[in-house]
Amino acid sequence: MTEAIGKLNAEVPPTFLFVVPRWNSSDLTLMERHLEVIKEQYAPNRLLIHRYDYSENVPFSLPLEEENVKGIAMLTSAGSWDSDILRRLEEYAAQVPLVLMNRHRGDLQLLSVGANDTFAGSLAVDHLFKNGHHRIAVLISEPQNGVIRERLNGVLTYAELHDMKCRVLDCNIRSGDYAPEKAYYFFAKVLKDGIDFTALIGISTDSFTGAVNACLNAGIAVPEKLSLVSIGSKRDAMIQHPPLDCVDLNYEKQFETILEILMHPEKYTPETNPHEYFKPELVVNGSVRKLNA
């Protein structure tokens, strides 16, 4: 450590660094706001967000010494990992406690916190099935990383087991795309061509807003003509028009659990981490029509 950094560290409080890709996402905005709300609970520790170029997949470097970092919470932008990405993560974890956000990697000796995304997908379909919907569609409005594939697998497995027809609509989103806009134009064309389903699942509430707006501008009444349910943040779902039924992933609790692990890393190992999978919960706001009433 250089003398200059040593002097700087004497003035910088211990820091928990939330490392996230630099892309447009209301989920990241909600994270930033929630960390601001709870920051006093973790004083004198500091909660700091560090944004990196998403093209790096995992940042090539982090200001660990300069910011006096005592723990890292990281969201990778990589859809899949290769040996170089894994090596970089392991190098960070060897320096300070590291927790991955929304990546379930206990088998690779890395701590993680995230939702049970397969269950989330199944819960969304279960909500539609119980309301009498048997012809549905699922909109993939995010890059197909492991989390999105798990949600999709939950949707498709439940639909198959209950003899439901499920159409997969892939907006072909890539990292760095403005997903709501791309989802809007994609789903607007789907609506123009005609739909053969009564309900639509949004694989991510964040980007699903594009499809919701496409419905409104096409005169598709929700839920009278098309029922909608999303997977993501209940806060995002509530402020849509109309408010959306949502499988809530409880991001706020996830962030607080990450901080609990970073504050007491000696208590947690990848093998004994009880928080790797959070169980999502259904929030009903009236965007799903009852066909079996």
CATH of the domain at 26: 3.40.50.2300
Residue with tokens 């169980």: 279
Directed axis angle between helix 146-161 and helix 117-130, to 10°?
40
* Domain-embedded: residue 184: yes
What gap in Å lies between CA 160 and CA 135, rounded to an integer?
Answer: 11
Range of the domain at 51: 3-115+251-278
Q: Among 148, 157, 251, 149, which Cα is nearest to 207's?
A: 148
Q: What is the pLDDT of residues 111-123, one digit of tens each?
A: 888 889 999 999 9
147 and 261 in a single domain? The answer is no
What gap in Å lies between CA 104 and CA 119, rounded to an integer?
Answer: 14
* Domain-embedded: residue 284: no
Strand partners, 47: 16
Is residue 184 within 8 Å of 211, Cβ to Cβ?
yes
pLDDT value at residue 72: 96
* Domain-embedded: residue 286: no
244 and 197 in a single domain? The answer is yes
242 and 271 in a single domain? The answer is no
* Domain-embedded: residue 152: yes
The domain tally of the chain equals 2
121 and 142 in a single domain? The answer is yes
Is residue 242 within 8 Å of 286, Cβ to Cβ?
yes
User: What amino acid occupies position 111?
Assistant: L
Low-confidence ranges of the chain (pLDDT < 70): 1-10, 78-80, 103-108, 276, 293
What gap in Å lies between CA 249 and CA 149, rounded to an integer?
Answer: 16
Residues of 195-215 as b/e, b for ≥16 C-beta within 10 angstroms? Answer: bebbbbbbbbbbbbbbbbbbb
